Structure 1
Amino acid sequence: MNNTVRPSAIAAYEDWPAYVRAHPRYRAGTPASQEFADALGVPGASAAPQVQVQWEEEHDGVTTSQLSWQLGFGPRTTGWLVRPAGSSGQLPGVLALHCHGGNKFGGADRLVELPDSHPSAAAARAGLYDGQALATETARRGFAVLAHDSFAWGSRGFDLSTPPWRTGAGLEARRAQWRQDGVVPSEADLYNAAAGIHEDTVAKTAGLLGTSLAGMVAHDDLAALDILAGLPGVDAGRLGCMGFSGGGGRSLALAALTPAIRASAITCMMTTFESLLPAYLDAHSWLLQTPGLWKLGDWPELTARSPAAAFLVQYALADQLFPEAGMRQAHTILENLHPADRYTGAFWPGGHVFTAAMQDQAFEFLGRTLGATAPLPADDASHRIPSSPQGPHS
């Protein structure tokens, strides 16, 4: 008899099934949004989490606060609020959504200027964001910006220190290749290799629970949006979101799920589903490929489920992940769906990168749509986030 105990396939998330059973359905504001939420299997939310301030500092024109909250299952979430230093009054709020990037060791830290950035975050900024910290740069334009680790990334990652059976077998093959090549992997390399293999297990678990990877990520993003809307100094009537690659898909999904989003910037994450077949499907993660989603319409058509948002969609003509024909077809669909004041499409040279020039266009779009103005010096402390003296909440 084999008494070997297999490791958990969802370590750090053993309470995930019970949470989904207790909160099976997100309640959207419109029938169109509800249909999309049900297709993704977005769970409902538990009680609003209490937000704790870990630290706050001012540097180079912005004030950065590290926050944390507990969503009721899995590890505690880390996020960063970045605002113009000395700002007062109500600022428009932006949720900055990190990309997939094959890097689950980190999350939103790649979007924020931090005094102790991990090398993996710095590498993501250098390789994908033209060396800029997207959330910090957005805040310098007059926004209150929240960047958070979403489900399965960074602080919300799975514990893969003892990988489950299939993940462990794949990781050992990767280790053997590293040894053959004389490579000494870093902690981030090891985690990301395991997480890349483990994503299939996460997607299978989500499907078993009646949800999806994209639905769970949307759950975390909706919670972060509610937190942003409730923070002091944030105008809950002027909220937007932005993201590159997988973050761009999250930006589209968030706008389609809630009327609270007034502006959605989507970078390097737009095409038709059909254009991915047969050669481009393998380039994408489970974030894009939720089973049954195509039944609701094509990827660009999902924007029509947003009752309020204006959209900026940025396409990279040499994007390795999307064929140009699919991007141009999506652009035509979007032009036919939305009036000129609700959709702007921009084709940029280059590959799958969110360049500084593209970021400038996104900042201008958000500023114009949400009404951002130059930050004013503070004359009181009304914009400060109250710290919790009780310590972490769970």
Structure 2
Amino acid sequence: MTTGGTPVSAEAQAARPSAIAGYEDWPAYVRQHPRFAAAAPEAQELADALGVPGMPGAPAVTVHGEETHHGVTTSQLSWQLGFGPRSTGWLLRPADASGRLPGVLALHCHGGNKFGGADRLVELPADHPANPRTGYERRALATDIARNGFAVLAHDAFAWGSRRFDLSTPPWRTAAALEARRAQWREDGVVPSEAEDYNAAAGIHEDTVAKTAGLLGTSLAGMVAHDDLAALEILAGLPGVDPDRLGCAGFSGGGGRSVALAVLSPRIRASVVTCMMTTFQSLLPAYLDAHSWLLQTPGLWKLGDWPELTTRSARANFLVQYALADELFPEDGMRDAHRILESLHASGRYTGSFWPGGHVFTAAMQEEATAFLAATLNTSPSSTPQPARTS
């Protein structure tokens, strides 16, 4: 074999580490389940653009433990999706719950933090190595929503937390860039934690994951949507959950996941999108490098602008929360998206709110999101906040 005219020995080929360690069975899975079957043509077009693989059915769930803390019962779950490592999720519900509850899928952000996943949304015991809740004002979003009368499932998505790639022996390109980062740390006298070291590698490795996904006819967003759809089916089938009253909520990258899930599944009646709405045009030319492959799927714009994709949802009502000083989106792009959404949706299907501050899901925004979920899914929160908003 030759590479650029230079012979490569069999020994050198054998020594080259896997570029998708922990996911060597991923290509075979996509070949066996190449296409997700959506319920409507509009949703199918998005599924095909993202390359969402099909699913053979809701996976079997294992319960690893349960405890009650501050009025919320938390159960740790896991399931196997047929490729890659097992998924970890947490089911949260009020400790005194009776009857069937409305369900919410809590979608964690990207955050440049792939070492952890949904644990950043959950109030966990003191001995758990909890994921820092950067961007959430140190609040456990999923636990707080559950405390207000919901069954909430928060799960690790493809490439995050329990579903992360094994980068203990990174592929060569990732290893070279990672060594430069480690050299800078050494020069600065910084001793990175295990999570910091992994996240540095994962940030570089995301390009490799996106290239692999493209080769397989999918995308990073399509694979994440696959995991989200499986988690939604698990939530809908759990005892004590009303499958006709389901919603989803996410901040930043989780907000993008919330849009996609509301389109791909007619189960979703309420979708919260926080700090993840603009026009595609506004990202050009200065804001492209502010975002990951989770937003920037090649060819997605052919289906319409980002706010226009919401019209492909069969039944979801949307709450979109904008941060006026968001470092990742220009204000004119957010305001243009708001005007587009207002023009596209009948009264009641879209609510937009503008907030002061940067790319943060503040406590007041979380309270507004919980109130919206309660109103849309026909339940009553323990309190009805009236947060101040900036127009």
> What's the TM-score once normalised by structure 1's chain length?
0.93
Give, in whole Å, the separation in 2 of the partners of 1:148 and 1:117: 20
Give % identity.
78
Residue 27 of structure 1 corresponds to which residue in structure 2?
37
Residue type of the alignment partner of 1:210 = G
Q: Is 1:94 aligned to 2:104, yes or no?
A: yes
- Conserved? CA contact 1:109–1:117, under 8 Å: no
Residue 80 of structure 1 corresponds to which residue in structure 2?
90
Give, in whole Å, the separation in 2 of the partners of 1:169 and 1:326: 37
SS in 1 for 2:11: coil
Shift of 1:46: 2.0
Shift of 1:114: 0.4
- Conserved? CA contact 1:263–1:369, under 8 Å: yes
Residue 333 of structure 1 corresponds to which residue in structure 2?
340
Q: Is 1:159 aligned to 2:166, yes or no?
A: yes
- Conserved? CA contact 1:230–1:236, under 8 Å: yes
Give, in whole Å, the separation in 1 of the partners of 2:48 and 2:128: 37
Residue 54 of structure 2 corresponds to which residue in structure 1?
44
Shift of 1:118: 5.7
Bigger relative contact order, structure 1 or 2 (CA pairs below 8 A, ≥6 apart): 1
Matches of residues 239-318 of structure 1 in structure 2 within 5 Å?
239-318=246-325
Residue 177 of structure 1 corresponds to which residue in structure 2?
184
- Conserved? CA contact 2:374–2:381, under 8 Å: no
Matches of residues 351-390 of structure 1 in structure 2 within 5 Å?
351-373=358-380
- Conserved? CA contact 1:46–1:71, under 8 Å: no
After superposition, the Cα gap between the structure-2 partners of 1:18 and 1:186, relative to the gap in structure 1 and judged at 3 Å, is same
Give, in whole Å, the separation in 2 of the partners of 1:20 and 1:198: 20
Residue 54 of structure 1 corresponds to which residue in structure 2?
64
After superposition, the Cα gap between the structure-2 partners of 1:374 and 1:174, relative to the gap in structure 1 and judged at 3 Å, is closer
Shift of 1:47: 3.2
Can you give the 5+ residue segments of structure 1 that lack an aligned partner in the other structure? 376-394
Give, in whole Å, the separation in 1 of the partners of 2:130 and 2:290: 21
- Conserved? CA contact 1:120–1:188, under 8 Å: no
Give, in whole Å, the separation in 1 of the partners of 2:320 and 2:127: 29
Residue type of the alignment partner of 1:3 = E
Shift of 1:181: 0.3
Shift of 1:330: 0.1
Give, in whole Å, the separation in 1 of the partners of 2:315 and 2:121: 26
SS in 1 for 2:272: strand
After superposition, the Cα gap between the structure-2 partners of 1:120 and 1:170, relative to the gap in structure 1 and judged at 3 Å, is farther
Residue type of the alignment partner of 1:340 = S
Residue type of the alignment partner of 1:17 = P
Give, in whole Å, the separation in 2 of the partners of 1:116 and 1:297: 46
Residue 148 of structure 1 corresponds to which residue in structure 2?
155
- Conserved? CA contact 2:119–2:130, under 8 Å: no
* Root-mean-square deviation (Å): 1.1
- The C-alpha deviation readout for 1:59-112, integer Å capped at 9, x for no partner, is 101000000000000000000000000201000000000000000000000000
Give, in whole Å, the separation in 1 of the partners of 2:99 and 2:313: 28
SS in 2 for 1:64: strand
- Conserved? CA contact 2:122–2:143, under 8 Å: yes
Of 124, 127, 138, 1:114 maps to: 124
Of 199, 203, 207, 1:192 maps to: 199
Shift of 1:117: 6.5
Residue type of the alignment partner of 2:98 = S
Residue 73 of structure 2 corresponds to which residue in structure 1?
63
Residue type of the alignment partner of 1:330 = A
Shift of 1:258: 1.1
- Conserved? CA contact 1:283–1:321, under 8 Å: yes
Residue type of the alignment partner of 2:227 = D
Shift of 1:373: 3.8
Give, in whole Å, the separation in 1 of the partners of 2:49 and 2:119: 30
Residue type of the alignment partner of 1:244 = F
After superposition, the Cα gap between the structure-2 partners of 1:341 and 1:60, relative to the gap in structure 1 and judged at 3 Å, is same
After superposition, the Cα gap between the structure-2 partners of 1:120 and 1:165, relative to the gap in structure 1 and judged at 3 Å, is farther
Q: Is 1:15 aligned to 2:25, yes or no?
A: yes
Matches of residues 215-254 of structure 1 in structure 2 within 5 Å?
215-254=222-261
Give, in whole Å, the separation in 2 of the partners of 1:228 and 1:292: 31
After superposition, the Cα gap between the structure-2 partners of 1:78 and 1:39, relative to the gap in structure 1 and judged at 3 Å, is same
- Conserved? CA contact 2:108–2:250, under 8 Å: yes
Shift of 1:370: 0.3
In the comparison of the two structures, how many residue pairs are matched? 372
Matches of residues 131-146 of structure 1 in structure 2 within 5 Å?
131-146=138-153
Residue 350 of structure 1 corresponds to which residue in structure 2?
357
